[in-house]
Amino acid sequence: MTNWKSIRIEKGSGGWGGPLIITPTEQKHKFIYVTGGNRPAVVDKIEKLTGMKAIDGFKTSIPDNETALAIIDCGGTLRCGIYPKKGILTANVLPTGKSGPLAKYITPELYVSAVGENQVSAVAVDEVAQGTEANMVKTAAADEASQTNEAKYDSSKTITQQLNHTSFIAKIGIGAGKVVATFNQAAKDSVQTVINTIIPFMAFVALLIGIIQGSGIGKVFAKVMSPLAGNVWGLMVIGFICSLPFLSPLLGPGAVIGQIIGTLIGVEIGKGNISPQYALPALFAINTQNACDFIPVGLGLEDAESKTVEVGVPSVLYSRFINGVPRVFVAWLASFGLYAGK
């Protein structure tokens, strides 16, 4: 039997959540890292301290019930919440807090961010025992409370539902209540998504535009990018670079590169430095890397086997590379007449 050791992971500067105590077991003695195809130094330290095996999520996968920890580099999209939703302890190397469409699953007990080498430390046996004992006490208390509260009424249902009325009026009332509750919950989720995801993105873009206009970066960018962004051949070069298989996973997280270049091009189009005709092909050029960092996570959501991940990841990367340049050219052809003035 391998002598695995426990570690403690705390949040770094500007981080959120945790601390997490990772204790390898016979079933869970591997951890996965999905970090844009690169291997952060913290992965090597965790592997050294615990004795666990690190798995590159861009090359293969492991079953969820065998995953002791997930290392990610998500800027606030789906990866932040997908592993906590599965109950997998998650450490984000970026200082991302409770955000994204799955923010409700991100809890301090399952998630910690801004994690580097300094945030990982070995844990003494007695500390692990105390944590285990505390969890056992909480579980026992919850079971006891559950048994004590056993009554003829279920607290998760309304009294009307528990009375089991079979009358037509009762059925209408219950059905209407379900419809109202569904729409009400959908409204809550929509507002939460706007607050946690859309508004911060709008603020980020507004900040970029302000920096571009106030610092003069736009003028410098115009001189550098106009030869590329101002003609279809230059945009095809941008699309080629962004779609390179070894760059796509690095440019994908948060689509930051696409956001910055897109904002810069948009500002220059608004100023008249770049023709509006190139807006559509520019959009395709800067987004050839879009979501290429998400391939292992997407395959994991579908419970793909390890061999499927090994084949699927390079397949998507190379397919994006092959159609990256042609799609920019097609977008350029489709842009003719879109902005024709009178």
292 part of the active site = no
The pLDDT tens digits for 124-141 are: 765 555 555 544 444 454
Q: What count of other Cβ atoms lies within 10 Å of the Cβ of residue 163?
A: 11
Cα 256 from Cα 109, distance rounded (Å): 29
Q: Which residue has the tokens 């050219």?
A: 329
The residue annotated as part of the active site, out of 74, 80, 242, 292, is 74
Cα 321 from Cα 327, distance rounded (Å): 10
Output the CA torsion 289→270→224→254 (10° steps): -30
- pLDDT < 70: residue spans in the chain: 1-2, 36-37, 125-171, 173-175, 177-178, 197, 201, 204-205, 208-209, 212-213, 216-230, 250-259, 290-293, 300-303, 339-342
Cα 247 from Cα 241, distance rounded (Å): 8
pTM above 0.95, yes or no: no
Can you give the pLDDT at residue 46?
93
